[in-house]
Amino acid sequence: MRISILVQSDPFTTANGELALRFAQSVVHSNHDLYRVFFYKQAVSIASKHAIAPQDEMQLTEMWIDLARKSKVELIVCVAAGQRRGLVQTVLADEFEIAGLGQMVEAMIESDRTVTF
């Protein structure tokens, strides 16, 4: 099954950033096709290379990067949501790409399931 994920919750004030990552890892390990992960609204802050979590906390950005390298899944950050929050190409972490909302709608159309966090 082809699955896409929309992540839009603030990773610092909700557990949804971690839940989205765990779900994405499960999709990959279950041999489903993880088509695209789209970061929107406050969730775009996950894609900043300057955001470093304390050592005793989950390194969400690093874990997303690791998943992308192993599974080749696209990690897309919304350009408008990113710019609004100061997240531009120069501060983007490895493996993340900036694109428009059309990429999310296209993912919805191309995937069998879309899951929102």
Partner 1 sequence: MKSVLYLVSKKASLTANETVDMMLVSGVFEQPCSVVFIDDGVYQLFGDMMLVRTKDTSRALSALPTYGIDRLYADNQSLYERNLQFASCHLSFQTIDVSEITQLFNEHDIVVTD
Distance of closest approach, residue 80 Cβ to partner 1, in angstroms: 7
Q: Give catalytic status of residue 64 as yes or no.
A: no
Shortest distance (Å) from residue 68 CB to partner 1: 23
Return d(Cα 17, Cα 20) in angstroms, integer.
Answer: 5
Can you list the alpha helix ranges (DSSP code H) found in 1-117?
16-29, 60-71, 79-84, 102-110
Alpha carbons 51 and 60: distance in angstroms, whole number: 10
Q: Shortest Cβ distance from residue 9 to partner 1 (Å)?
A: 10
Which phi and psi angles does 97 have, rounded to 5°? -130, 150
Kindly list the residues in this chain that would bind partner 1 in the complex (CB under 8 A).
6, 8, 40-42, 80-81, 84, 100-102, 104-106, 108-109, 111, 114, 116
CB closer to partner 1 out of 26 and 116: 116
Q: Which among 44, 60, 65, 78 is annotated as catalytic?
A: 78
Please, which residue, 38 or 65, has the CB nearer to partner 1?
A: 38
State the distance between the two ends of the chain, measured CA to CA, in whole angstroms. 19
Yes or no: say if 82 and 75 are a contact pair by the CB < 8 Å rule: no
Q: Is the Cβ of residue 42 or residue 65 nearer to partner 1 in the bound state?
A: 42
| Catalytic site positions | 78
